[in-house]
């Protein structure tokens, strides 16, 4: 009979249950503000669960505020309906540090909350958000709870998941965990979450000793990422793996520690004892491994002949060409592993995935029939490969190319080697490997920021020419040394992809001129089914001829709902801008447009063509419009202003047209256009370094005052200080984030702004 899982989100609910009947408990007490009294109550309740076989106890603490921000960003992005207080309280409202950062968060609308989340993430970044002080005073309470006989007396437990992440635990608490875990002789499955604590080598040695006593374990998940141990601690991890010889499932997460090659060697020795493993997830990213460490890890897989799933991550270490060779060996070994399985299980023909994926080297239920020196055919249809941000050069790229050349039946490929040191030789080897993948329907290819020139780009182009079935292409070769010859080769390849519905094409920061842009434009003209296009060729040498070719191609995309178009920092004038404008006029279904043509040579004629095109986008909810540093005057600005008047549904607008030649007439029309954007919640507005006067600046201020739902306003006042002097600006009472975009603001404006803020607060 299956166990009934009883889930509880509060201690209060748990205390109401029928303890004597419970065999399985899932107790979620994240951010539980535990004290001695609360934990005594938990202990008393657990003592009554005499039939308990499975326990999940989650006492995780969110100390780093980025956990809150990320959580809120996700739920607010996906759920705009009202979120109840009892859902928010555990994550935000009861946290004093969050309240200090975002006053009145509880009473805001979801749109306002969302704007705050976007601002905090954009300005702090995920890794730089403030961290709440550690609550070390709770450690003794937690230690006493674990030392209580209650947990260790649950002698019937076969499955235990204990989550103590983010509790600032030190080595003393780790010793207590050793004492507790060591008593569970019946355990077959253990999931121990201890990431983001303060456990050193000594603590890891104790935890390892405790787990080593659980000789019946078949499943182990051990997450000790973001602690303070190094190779000595890794040595004890290796010892526990050597002791747990019955493991068939191992998920070991030890990223962001200080493990060097010696520690990797110890882990490898432990892995070699786990000969029954079918599932292995090993996360070693952001440690101190070099090529030797990767080689040792690779040797540890030799005895794991039963593996069906391999996930292996070594991003952000110090790995070069020799490590890449070992990576190729692991890939080959995955094939040999599954070959052995196929010899034993002749009916495994439906197992088809090998993933070496984002942040991981992954083998996911792979099926292969490789025989060294004879047949290289495989049945793998899915391949994800990521070895970005290392020090791989041509030699290593060639080894990877040879390893990947066998997968003839691939339909999905995600290939990431960005931020390495790969030149033409390595790119050619990768190109030769990719030329075999004729059945692909999805390709994500990223070699951004390497040293690839025309020769390498041509080889990649020849490979891409075989993909007639693609529906999704994400292609990134920015920040290399590709000129017209390479761009033409890539263009010829792209001309075959007629079923495409999604295209992300990035060749920015190269040396591509009109010839290369024309070839790319000719290729793009075939994509009649596109609904999403991200096109980025900024900072090249493209002039009117190339822009016209791109414009002719874009005119075919009548089904687009999302367009991100980046051609800034080129040499495009009116002729090219007019061609682009004519193309853009067809997109009646757009809801999102990001349009960047700054730093070109566009004047009124080109701006008018773009303005006429933009006037058709009545469904837009997000517009990022950048035409700064061109030669646009009143006529062009008026056309753009008239386009703005159609955007009744806009909630986010970034309008940057500074550094042009716009006077009163053009700025006045833009102000009138803004009058119609009454649903804006987020506005970035930059029109500085033009030629309009104070009266028009006040008109813009009055237009802003009609955006009564604004919660975030960035406005550049470096020239025209009167924009915020309009008395009607006080209608924007919901603004929570105001950025004036200038370090040198006149004293008079500061006084005027203070008066406005005072009226708003009243």
Phi, psi angle pair for 97, to nearest 5°: -65, -35
**Is 90 exceeded by the pLDDT of residue 493?**
no
Check whether residue 103 and residue 244 sit in a common domain.
no
Q: Give the model's pLDDT for residue 759.
A: 54
Residue 192 bridge partners (DSSP): 162, 222
Residue 161 forms part of a structural domain: no
Task: Give the H or E element holding residue 473.
Answer: strand 472-476
More reliable by pLDDT, 297 or 548: 548
What's the rounded mean pLDDT across residues 744-749?
Answer: 57
Confidence of residue 32 (pLDDT cuts 50, 70, 90): low
| Structure-model confidence comparison of residues 321 and 369, the more confident one | 321
CB 677 within 8 A of CB 647: yes
Query: Sorting pLDDT into bands at 50, 70 and 90, what band is 569?
Result: very high
- The pLDDT value recorded for residue 101 is 54
CA proximity to 379, closest of 323, 343, 338, 325: 338
Q: What is the predicted pLDDT for the residue at 405? A: 79
Average pLDDT estimate for 526-553: 93
Q: At what angle do helices 664-674 and 694-705 cross, to 10 degrees?
A: 10
Cβ 143 vs Cβ 171: under 8 Å: no
559 assigned to some structural domain? no
On whether both 86 and 230 belong to a single domain, the answer is no
Q: pLDDT at residue 468 above 50?
A: yes
Evaluate if residue 325 carries a pLDDT over 70: no
SS (H, E, C) 549-615: HHHHHHCCCCCCCEEEEECCCCCCCHHHHHHHHHHHCCCCCCCEEEEECCCCCCCHHHHHHHHHHHC
pLDDT for 353:
39
d(CA 719, CA 725): 14
Give the rounded percent of residues in the chain with a pLDDT score beyond 90: 29
Report DSSP state, residue 192.
E
Both 248 and 369 in one domain: the answer is yes
Section 516-528 average pLDDT: 89
* pLDDT tens-digit readout, 662-685: 999 999 999 999 988 888 989 998
pLDDT of residue 354: 39
What digits encode the pLDDT tens for the residues 216-257? Answer: 999 999 999 888 899 898 999 999 999 999 999 999 988 888
Distance of alpha carbon 8 from alpha carbon 29, whole angstroms? 8
Half-sphere exposure of 637 (CA within 13 A, CB side): 29
For residues 83 and 224, membership in a common domain is answered with no
List the single range of 381-385, 542-546, 557-561 with lowest mean pLDDT.
381-385
Closest CA to 352 of 343, 344, 363, 360: 363
Q: Which residues contact 72 (CB under 8 A, 6 or more apart)?
A: 91, 92, 113, 117
Greatest mean pLDDT range, 314-328, 390-404, 621-635: 621-635
- What is the greatest pairwise CA distance in the chain? 84
pLDDT at 316: 67
Tell me how many domains the chain contains. 2
- What does the pLDDT read at residue 670? 93
Over residues 164-184, mean pLDDT: 77
For residue 277, is it within any domain? yes
**What six digits make up the tokens of 594?**
């990001």
pLDDT at residue 48, as a whole number: 77
d(CA 142, CA 48) in angstroms, rounded, equals 20
Q: Which two tokens stand for residue 173?
A: 């608490």
Any domain includes 318: yes
Lowest-pLDDT range, 338-342, 486-490, 535-539? 338-342
Query: 442-446 and 159-163 as β-strands: parallel, antiparallel, unpaired?
Result: unpaired
Q: Which of 32-46, 209-223, 381-395 has the lowest mean pLDDT?
A: 32-46
Query: Poorest-confidence range of 50-54, 426-430, 754-758?
Result: 754-758
Q: How far apart are CA 390 and CA 315, in angstroms?
A: 7
The answer to whether 497 touches 527, Cβ cutoff 8 Å, is yes
Among 371, 392, 413, where does a domain finish?
392
- pLDDT confidence bin for 160, thresholds 50/70/90: confident
Q: Please state whether beta strands 309-313 and 361-364 pair in parallel, antiparallel, or not at all (unpaired).
A: antiparallel
Any idea what the Cα angle at residue 409 is, between residues 454 and 307, rounded to 5°?
A: 110
DSSP type of residue 137: G
Instruction: Give whichever of 102-106, 224-228, 353-357, 562-566 has the largest mean pLDDT.
Output: 562-566
Question: In whole angstroms, what separates CA 396 from the centre of its chain?
Answer: 26
Q: State percent of the chain over pLDDT 70.
A: 71
Higher pLDDT, 143 or 424: 424
Does 18 have pLDDT greater than 50?
A: yes
Least confident of 68-77, 114-123, 146-155: 68-77
**Is residue 253 a part of any domain in this protein?**
yes
User: Where is pLDDT greater, at 418 or 40?
Assistant: 418
| Predicted local confidence at residue 585, as pLDDT | 86
The verdict on 368 and 250 lying in the same domain is: yes
Q: Give residue 450's pLDDT.
A: 95
pLDDT band at 131 (very low <50, low <70, confident <90, very high): very low
Across 53-67, 200-214, 284-298, the highest mean pLDDT is recorded for 200-214
Classify residue 48: in a domain, yes or no: no
Pairing label, strands 502-506, 622-626:
unpaired
Mean pLDDT of the chain: 76
First to last CA, the chain: 65
Residue 746's pLDDT band, with cuts at 50, 70 and 90, is low
Same domain, 224 and 118: no
Q: What is the structure's pLDDT at 134?
A: 41
Enclosing domain of residue 382? 219-392
Cβ burial of 751 (10 Å; 0-12, 13-18, 19+) is exposed
Residue 164: predicted pLDDT: 80
pLDDT band of residue 741 (cuts 50, 70, 90) is low
Residue where the block lists tokens 């529906």 = 471
Reduced to 3 states (helix: H, G, I; strand: E, B; else coil), residue 465 is coil
pLDDT of residue 733: 65
Q: Is residue 567 scored above 60 in pLDDT?
A: yes
**Which helix (H) or strand (E) is 58 found in, with range?**
strand 54-58
- Mapped onto helix, strand or coil, the DSSP state of residue 386 is strand
Q: Whole-angstrom Cα distance, residue 711 to residue 104?
A: 13
Least confident of 57-71, 180-194, 550-564, 588-602: 57-71
For 332-358, write each residue's pLDDT tens digit. 444 333 333 223 322 323 333 333 333
Q: Which two tokens stand for residue 406?
A: 């066998």
How many whole angstroms separate alpha carbon 652 and alpha carbon 640? 17
What residue spans of 89-245 are helical by DSSP H? Answer: 96-101, 110-124, 139-147, 149-152, 171-181, 201-212, 231-243
- Can you read off the two tokens belonging to residue 18? 């029928």
| pLDDT exceeds cutoff 90 at 29 | no
Q: Is 3 a domain residue?
A: no
Whether residues 355 and 223 fall in one domain: yes
pLDDT value for 497 = 81
Confidence of residue 361 (pLDDT cuts 50, 70, 90): very low
Q: What is the DSSP string of 526-549?
A: T-TT-SEEEEE--SS---HHHHHH
Which of 108, 124, 140 is the last residue before a domain boundary? 124
| Between residues 691 and 660, the one the model is more confident about | 660
Q: What tokens were used for 567?
A: 């051609």
Q: Is residue 281, in this structure, part of any structural domain at all?
A: yes
Assign 319 a pLDDT band (cuts: 50, 70, 90): low
Count of all residues that appear for the chain in the document: 762
Residue 121 pLDDT: 52
What are the CA-CA distances from residue 594 to residues 280, 609, 649, 663 (Å)?
A: 42, 17, 16, 25
Q: Is residue 262 located within the same domain as residue 375?
A: yes
Q: What is the pLDDT of residue 20?
A: 77
Within 10 angstroms of residue 674's Cβ, the number of other Cβ atoms is 26
- Whichever domain contains 255, its CATH number is 3.80.10
147 CB-contact burial (10 Å; exposed 0-12 / middle 13-18 / buried 19+)? middle
Of 103, 124, 145, the one marking the end of a domain is: 124
Q: What pLDDT score was predicted for residue 747?
A: 58
């Amino acid at each position: 009979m299956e166990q009934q899982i009883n889930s509880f989100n509060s201690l209060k609910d748990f205390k109401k249950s029928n303890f004597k009947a419970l065999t399985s408990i899932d107790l979620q007490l994240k951010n539980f503000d535990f004290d001695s009294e609360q934990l005594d109550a938990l202990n008393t309740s657990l003592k009554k669960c005499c039939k308990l076989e499975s326990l999940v106890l989650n006492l995780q603490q969110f100390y780093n505020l980025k956990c809150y921000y990320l959580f809120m960003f996700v739920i607010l992005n996906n759920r705009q309906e009202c979120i109840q207080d009892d859902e928010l309280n555990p994550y935000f409202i009861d946290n004093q540090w969050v309240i200090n950062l975002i006053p009145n968060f509880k009473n805001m609308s979801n749109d306002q909350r969302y704007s705050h989340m976007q601002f905090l993430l954009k300005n702090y970044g995920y890794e730089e958000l403030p961290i709440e002080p550690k609550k070390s005073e709770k450690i003794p309470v937690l230690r006493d709870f674990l030392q209580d006989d209650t947990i260790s007396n649950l002698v019937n437990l076969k499955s235990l998941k204990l989550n103590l992440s983010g509790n600032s635990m030190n080595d003393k608490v780790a010793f207590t965990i050793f004492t507790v875990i060591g008593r569970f002789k019946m355990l077959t499955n253990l999931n121990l979450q201890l990431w983001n604590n303060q456990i050193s080598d000594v603590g890891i040695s104790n935890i390892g000793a405790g787990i080593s006593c659980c000789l019946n374990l078949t499943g182990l998940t051990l997450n000790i990422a973001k602690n303070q141990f190094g190779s000595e601690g890794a040595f004890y991890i290796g010892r526990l793996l050597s002791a747990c010889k019955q493991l068939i499932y191992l998920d070991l997460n030890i990223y962001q520690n200080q493990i060097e090659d010696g520690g990797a060697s110890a882990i490898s020795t432990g892995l070699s004892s786990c000969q029954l493993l079918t599932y292995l997830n090993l996360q070693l990213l952001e440690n101190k491994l070099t090529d030797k460490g990767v080689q040792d890890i690779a040797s540890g897989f030799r005895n794991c002949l039963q593996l069906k799933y391999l996930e292996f991550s070594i991003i952000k270490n110090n790995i070069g060409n020799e490590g890449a060779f070992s990576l190729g060996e692991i890939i080959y070994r995955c094939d040999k592993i599954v070959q052995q399985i196929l010899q034993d299980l002749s009916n495994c023909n439906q197992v088809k995935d090998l993933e070496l994926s984002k942040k991981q080297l992954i083998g996911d239920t792979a099926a292969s029939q490789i025989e060294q020196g004879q047949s290289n055919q495989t049945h793998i249809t899915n391949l994800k490969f990521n070895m970005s941000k290392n020090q791989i050069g041509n030699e290593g790229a060639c080894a990877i190319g040879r390893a990947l050349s066998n997968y003839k039946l691939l339909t999905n490929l995600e290939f990431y080697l960005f931020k390495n040191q790969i030149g033409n030789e390595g790119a050619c080897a990768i190109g030769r490997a990719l030329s075999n993948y004729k059945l692909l329907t999805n390709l994500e290819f990223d070699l951004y920021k390497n040293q690839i020139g025309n020769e390498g780009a041509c080889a990649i182009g020849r490979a891409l020419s075989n993909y007639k079935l693609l529906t999704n292409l994400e292609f990134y070769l920015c920040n290399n040394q590709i000129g017209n010859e390479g761009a033409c080769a890539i263009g010829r390849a792209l001309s075959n992809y007629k079923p495409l519905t999604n295209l992300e094409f990035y060749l920015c920061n190269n040396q591509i001129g009109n010839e290369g842009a024309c070839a790319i434009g000719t290729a793009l003209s075939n994509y009649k089914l596109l609904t999403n296009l991200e096109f980025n060729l900024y900072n090249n040498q493209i002039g009117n001829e190339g822009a016209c070719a791109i414009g002719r191609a874009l005119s075919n995309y009548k089904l687009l709902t999302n367009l991100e178009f980046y051609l800034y920092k080129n040499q495009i004038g009116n002729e090219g801008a007019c061609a682009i404008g004519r193309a853009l006029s067809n997109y009646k279904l757009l809801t999102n447009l990001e349009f960047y043509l700054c730093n070109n040579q566009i004047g009124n004629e080109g701006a008018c063509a773009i303005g006429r095109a933009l006037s058709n986008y009545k469904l837009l909810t997000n517009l990022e419009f950048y035409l700064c540093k061109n030669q646009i005057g009143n006529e062009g600005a008026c056309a753009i202003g008239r386009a703005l008047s159609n955007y009744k549904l806009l909630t986010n607008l970034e309008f940057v047209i500074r550094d042009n030649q716009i006077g009163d007439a053009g700025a006045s029309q833009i102000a009138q256009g803004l009058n119609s954007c009454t649903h804006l919640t987020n506005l970035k507005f930059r029109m500085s370094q033009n030629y309009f006067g104070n009266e028009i600046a006040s008109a813009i201020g009055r237009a802003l005052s009609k955006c009564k739902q604004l919660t975030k306003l960035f406005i550049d006042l470096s020239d025209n200080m009167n924009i915020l002097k309009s008395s009607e600006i006080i209608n924007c009472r919901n603004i929570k984030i105001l950025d004036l975009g200038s370090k040198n603001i006149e004293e008079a404006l500061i006084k005027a702004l203070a008066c406005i803020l005072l009226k708003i607060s009243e």
